[in-house]
Amino acid sequence: MILVYSTFPNEEKALEIGRKLLEKRLIACFNAFEIRSGYWWKGEIVQDKEWAAIFKTTEEKEKELYEELRKLHPYETPAIFTLKVENVLTEYMNWLRESVL
């Protein structure tokens, strides 16, 4: 199991993209939540409200998920990265694998 993290400009875009990834069976589920961000952008410090999403999937789907997420993402330079998960409840992992078939 892997978790792929990304940020979005608003709730609507985070939920829209999450739904599209579910429909394509690239993810088993996602969690979306509001965050406050601070970052450098084009030589200036920016503080902003954004929405983050954690997408749950298998390692086998990672490349395809990245390609689709990059295609759908509204940001010029989106944060998209993977967090490896070491221990997962067996029943949950079985459900996750079945969900992305």
The CATH code of the domain that includes 3 is 3.30.70.120
Number of domains in the chain: 1
Residue entry with tokens 């997420």: 69
In this prediction the pTM is 0.93
- pLDDT tens by residue, 36-70: 999 999 999 999 999 999 999 999 999 999 999 99
71: containing domain? 1-98
What confidence score (pLDDT) does residue 27 get?
A: 98
| C-alpha gyration radius of the chain | 14
